[in-house]
Amino acid sequence: MDIIFAPWRYTYLKSVDAKKTSCIFCEAQKRSDDDSLILLRGRHSYVIMNLYPYNTGHVMVVPYRHVADYTELTRDEALEIHLLIKISLEAIREAYEPHGFNIGINLGRVAGAGIKDHIHVHIVPRWNGDTNFMPVIGGVKVISQDVNESYKYLKPYFQRVAERLGLTTKAK
């Protein structure tokens, strides 16, 4: 068996089993956009980079309120989350020109939720050929851009699309 070293994953692995005293999404919204990699803030929710992306440009839409289930969202939260999904799709399309997207919500641990107590929507850009021999034969995924670089690259696209669609944003 070949061994591929990915030492950056250790931080993630430690966090999965660690006893959490706080929620990463609740903590992220308290810090500056640059420190938390928040691309856009609305009134009820925000868009943040995924620190452990499935693909380049993988973002998440998260309500500010700590809520575990989609059915617990208020009408305003649900509507804004969908507006931020639309903005995310447009911004990522303009920036990276992906061929498609996966959009998903994992409700509960058995559904794959890594953070099961604070709902979030994954938006993952996909390209023809991004499922190549590496994941199929090698069992590894190659991410072509550092998440911090992705954040800096995407931020102006999110701002432009939000302004074009008339979303009142708040930066921190």
Residues belonging to the active site: 120
- Three-state SS across 108-125? CHHHCCCCCCCCCEEEEE
**Crossing angle of helices 147-164/75-96, nearest 10°?**
110
- How far lies 95's CA from each of 46, 83, 88, 91, in Å? 19, 18, 10, 6
Tokens of residue 138, six digits: 């090698």
